[in-house]
Amino acid sequence: MGNTFLALTAILLLVATIRAAEPTSSHPTNGPSVSSTDLTNHLKQLQARMPRGFTWTWQPPFVVLGDEAPHIVRQHATNTVKWAVDRLKRDYFKRDPSPIVDIWLFKDKASYEKWARELFADTPTTPYGYYSPRHNALLMNISTGGGTLVHEIVHPFVRANFPSCPAWFNEGLASLYEQSGSKAGRIVGYPNWRLPALQEAIRTGHTLPFEKLLALSDDEFYGGSDNRNYSQHYALARYLCYYLQEQGLLVKFYHAFASGAKDDPTGVKTLKKVLGESDLEAFRRKWEKFVSGLRWAQ
């Protein structure tokens, strides 16, 4: 009874704070994008199913939950979630995910697998974490680090802002930021563990042409019944985004693609226009030289 009372008190105090911040006139404001009523109802439902030993914190636009010490959960919420959200919204996303998405941070592999099964009836196919649109949740083995968390945060924002986004760009953008930092207040991706295999594929002439990569259906991108190629698809998409970033073109490409996707669903026409390239095969040779010269600082 005591724990329930304290939890409900925390919810009411939080909602009162959010309600005080809500706009009281017809003038546009930068107020919260979730209503206090929606948040109250969501938190009450969450409290009813949250296992003992977990704590939660509201880090807009997400509820962050974890089974580490409360101050550690809050650190993840501030140092990783808020850090990423602030920078992603600055360059890319105007709309927050809706309905509210929960971020579950499990302290280790055993906890991640246990609670994915018991709370969501899921068996994780990755040791790191994943986004489940069906459950409006991110499930993370946070002991593997925050890179995957930043990657997965991108997906609900893409879903809210660019629902027709093809897998190649959805995963390319998200993968770009799985190893990232900040430059002049903006998020930037760095070379990462996907680089060596891609460089080997370039060296041996086994990379997929960009025209074919961008034409892949979502099922084909993720491998379908044969998932042997999905890791190269990720690497190609990531380092195409990395190239655009390094040329100062990635944000421009995102907005042009998102606004023009009805007429260019794969992004190939937009990519050519933003790059100033009419022949993507000729461009690929330039891109391969660029990627071959990159180094991953492990």
- Position 1 scores a pLDDT of 42
Q: For residue 27, what are the CA distances in angstroms to 23, 24, 94?
A: 8, 8, 18
Is residue 138 in a domain? yes
- Position 230 scores a pLDDT of 86
Nearest alpha-carbon partner for 55 in 21, 100, 85, 10: 10
Beta strands per DSSP E along 53-194: 55-59, 62-66, 101-106, 129-132, 137-141, 180-183, 186-189
Q: Is the pLDDT of residue 200 over 90?
A: yes
Band of residue 14 on the pLDDT scale cut at 50, 70, 90: low
Q: Is the pLDDT of residue 11 over 60?
A: no
State the helix-helix crossing angle for 83-91 and 147-161, rounded to 10 degrees: 40
| Angle subtended at Cα 82 by Cα 80 and Cα 88, rounded to the nearest 5 degrees | 95
Residue position matching structure tokens 């969450």: 46
Distance separating alpha carbons of residues 274 and 153, to the nearest angstrom: 26
Q: What residues have CB less than 8 Å from 206, skipping those under 6 apart?
A: none
Percent of the chain surpassing pLDDT 70: 87
- Position 9 scores a pLDDT of 45
Q: For residue 199, what are the CA distances in angstroms to 60, 192, 193, 280, 285?
A: 39, 12, 11, 19, 13
Q: For residue 101, what are the CA distances in angstroms to 47, 48, 153, 218?
A: 15, 16, 10, 23
Beta strands per DSSP E along the chain: 55-59, 62-66, 101-106, 129-132, 137-141, 180-183, 186-189
Residue range 90-128, pLDDT digits in tens: 999 999 999 999 999 999 999 999 999 999 999 999 999
Is residue 174 in a domain? no
- Position 22 scores a pLDDT of 41
Distance separating alpha carbons of residues 10 and 132, to the nearest angstrom: 27
- Position 31 scores a pLDDT of 39
Distance separating alpha carbons of residues 12 and 200, to the nearest angstrom: 56
Q: For residue 8, what are the CA distances in angstroms to 5, 12, 40, 55, 68?
A: 5, 6, 10, 13, 21
- Position 2 scores a pLDDT of 39
Residue position matching structure tokens 């501030």: 78
Is residue 241 in a domain? yes
- Position 227 scores a pLDDT of 57
Range of the domain at 16: 1-22+34-49
Is residue 238 in a domain? yes
Q: Judge if 145 and 85 occupy the same domain.
A: yes
Is residue 68 in a domain? yes
Q: How many structural domains are present in the chain?
A: 3
Can you give the CATH number for the domain in which 99 is found?
3.40.30.160
Residue 233, judged by CB atoms within 10 A of its CB (0-12, 13-18, 19+), counts as buried
Q: Judge if 131 and 199 occupy the same domain.
A: no
| Residue 27 DSSP code | S
Is residue 38 in a domain? yes
Q: Is the pLDDT of residue 28 over 50?
A: no
Is residue 29 in a domain? no
Nearest alpha-carbon partner for 105 in 82, 150, 73: 73
Output Rg (C-alpha) for the chain, integer angstroms: 21
Distance separating alpha carbons of residues 231 and 192, to the nearest angstrom: 13
Report, as an integer, the average pLDDT of 264-288.
97
Distance separating alpha carbons of residues 250 and 254, to the nearest angstrom: 6
Residue range 214-229, pLDDT digits in tens: 999 999 999 865 556 7
Residue range 39-95, pLDDT digits in tens: 999 999 998 999 999 999 999 999 999 999 999 999 999 999 999 999 999 999 999
Q: Judge if 190 and 107 occupy the same domain.
A: no
Band of residue 16 on the pLDDT scale cut at 50, 70, 90: very low
Report, as an integer, the average pLDDT of 236-251.
98
